[in-house]
Amino acid sequence: MAFSLAQALPEAGTVPFPWAPQIRRAHLAALRLRLAVSVAAWLVVGGGVGWTTAVLTWARPPEWLAVVPSGAVVAVLVSVVAVTAIATLDGIGPALVVVWGYGRPGAVAASGYCAAPPRALRGLGAVAAGAGLSTGLAAGVATALLTSTGRGVGAALVAAAALLVSGIIGLFVAVSLPRLVKAWRAERRRAAERDRVYTTGSHVVGRVTAADYQGYRLDAQPVFRMTLEYPVREEIRRVEFLHADHPCWAPLPGNEFDVRYDPASPDDPETTVLERRIVGQSFDPDTAPLRQGRHEGESFLTTEAPDWALPDTKASPARVRYLLYRACTVNAVAAVLVAGAAVAWTTGHGLTPWWLVPCLLVMSTLYTCHAAWWWGMLRRADRVADRLWSPTATAWLGCGLAGAVVATVLVSVAPGAEPGGVVLFTGAAALLAGFGGVTNDSVPEETRWLTGDTPPPVDEVRQAIRSGDPEALPRLAARHGYRAGPRHAP
């Protein structure tokens, strides 16, 4: 995508990170999925915490739950979901930077600053988590009140405390949500206006007259204060703005930008759209000052290009396909084995304890979804790597769930938990817990190079993935057979 001048003005304090429309749409879909999963996961966490607290402090569980230490079962399973819920929050900020195309300095890292989303959208993940947690907490306590015995003064105190906490969190959500909705709609309007100007605005070519490194980096990309001159009617306009790119594409005076503006408002930074040209340009060869990083008091040099542009990190297409087929096969076999364990347990012991077979079926479902995810990677390597069933998310959820249910089996005194069945189940759980080391290689990264034997020049790839032209990526694929896409963005 191109970027509007308003996103890059020095006084705005933000830096553009332009991406192609296909990359933005893919990350937007992944962001919506992540937010939905986050709300659902925190809903489960809140419900489990509320119910377990009530049961362990003042109530007796109903008879149908008395076959196992129910509070302990819910507690360990909720702790697993909590790990997943926390993990869902990690990628919301970076996704917002990609979707809206600009960011600001955030957390300090060894290579500089991490790009944070626009200030107006701060707290989006916290609001999603708060909405689920508040609702779940109230629902969990209410369920305990309705289904358990032993209510009294203690019940009232616990219920009141839980509802107070739920209300405080709900108040935070109620106050923050309108602000976030307003900011989201404003970003959508800005993006639509930017796309309109890119498509229908007047087009000229601007030239860089100065490019000064600002002494810091965002997402390992040096930030430059650039001066650009371009003609508007019969005048020469001069603008200053911030721009970030990797050291290998460090700008020099004379570099060119495509400038598009609305003829009705040529001075409006919101309707002035810039897009840097990469192919055919010259770049600063002295990249050492741009790569200086510091960690624990020691200096080091960061990489001068993104991972996909470094020739020594590219795997051969044959190896990538092998890794993908291996991961798909291992997960499919594991899904069958765990489902078989559920069938074997049911045949020998029935549905006692009640929670064991559902846990095994959840594990088998995770394996099945993971196998389908890997197959999708094989079929289309330019999709977003960070999906619900991505290796990291599934590894955390799978390993945590395996550990939780195994621990529950070992402490359970449920009838029918015979040694043979426990061994069978524990073996299946151990198989699941070990899958991370078997399949979670660098395959998601390496699939970016599932292409022909001769990749296109990195300058062409860089220009295509940051172009506002929706046909840039298809042209790259048609010309070189190179499927660039969402995985080239952070």
Question: What pLDDT, on a 0 to 100 scale, did the predictor assign at position 480?
Answer: 79
- Whole-prediction pTM value? 0.78
Could you count the other beta carbons within 10 Å of the beta carbon of residue 457? 12
Is 1.10.3470 the CATH number for 201-304? no
pLDDT above 90 coverage of the chain, percent: 36
Higher per-residue confidence, 297 vs 113:
113
Tens digit of each residue's pLDDT (9 = 90 or more) over 156-203 = 777 788 888 899 999 999 999 999 999 999 999 999 999 999 999 999
Taking the CA of residue 388 as centre, how many other CA atoms within 13 Å lie in the half-sphere pointing to its CB?
A: 15
* Alpha-carbon 23 to chain mean position: 13
The predicted model gives 262-270 an average pLDDT of 93
Higher per-residue confidence, 207 vs 114:
207
Q: Environment class of residue 103 by beta-carbon count within 10 Å: exposed (0-12), middle (13-18) or buried (19+)?
A: buried
Q: Does residue 447 register a pLDDT over 90? A: no
Question: What pLDDT, on a 0 to 100 scale, did the predictor assign at position 50?
Answer: 83
| Residue 246 Rama label (left phi>0; alpha psi -120 to 50; beta) | beta
Higher per-residue confidence, 399 vs 383:
399
Q: Does residue 213 register a pLDDT over 90? A: yes
210 close to 188: Cβ distance less than 8 angstroms: no
Domain boundaries, the chain: 10-197, 201-304, 315-454
Taking the CA of residue 255 as centre, how many other CA atoms within 13 Å lie in the half-sphere pointing to its CB?
A: 23
Higher per-residue confidence, 358 vs 429:
358
**Separation between Cα atoms, residue 303 and residue 288, nearest integer Å:** 10
3-state per-residue secondary structure call for the chain? CCEEHHHCCHHHCCEECCCCHHHHHHHHHHHHHHHHHHHHHHHHHHHHHHHHHHHHHCCECCHHHCCCCHHHHHHHHHHHHHHHHHHHHHCHHHHHHHHHCEEEEEEEECCEEEEECCHHHCCHHHHHHHHHHHHHHHHHHHHHHHHCECCCHHHHHHHHHHHHHHHHHHHHHHHHHHHHHHHHHHHHHHHHHHHHHHHHCEEEEEEEEEEEEEEEEECCEEEEEEEEEEEECCEEEEEEEEEECCHHHCCCCCCEEEEEECCCCCCCHHHEEEEECCCCCCCCCCCHHHCEEEECCEEEECCCCCHHHCHHHCCCHHHHHHHHHHHHHHHHHHHHHHHHHHHHHHHHHCCCCCCHHHHHHHHHHHHHHHHHHHHHHHHCCCCCCCCCCCHHHHHHHHHHHHHHHHHHHHHCCCCCCCHHHHHHHHHHHHHHHCHHHHHCCCHHHHHHHCCCCCCCCHHHHHHHHCCCCCCHHHHHHHHHCCCCCHHHCC
Question: What pLDDT, on a 0 to 100 scale, did the predictor assign at position 384?
Answer: 42
Q: Does residue 261 register a pLDDT over 90? A: yes
- What does residue 268 show for φ and ψ, rounded to 5 degrees? -80, 120
How far, CA to CA in Å, does 277 sit from each of 9, 207, 274, 303, 463?
19, 10, 10, 22, 7
- pLDDT band of residue 441 (cuts 50, 70, 90) is very low
The predicted model gives 4-25 an average pLDDT of 93
**Separation between Cα atoms, residue 306 and residue 304, nearest integer Å:** 7
| Residue 438 Rama label (left phi>0; alpha psi -120 to 50; beta) | alpha
Q: Does residue 490 register a pLDDT over 90? A: no
Most trustworthy range by pLDDT among 70-79, 218-227, 421-430, 473-482: 218-227
**Separation between Cα atoms, residue 307 and residue 311, nearest integer Å:** 9
Tens digit of each residue's pLDDT (9 = 90 or more) over 296-353 = 556 666 778 887 777 655 556 666 677 778 777 877 877 787 787 778 777 777 777 6
438 close to 444: Cβ distance less than 8 angstroms: no
Q: Does residue 29 register a pLDDT over 80? A: yes
Q: Does residue 111 register a pLDDT over 70? A: yes
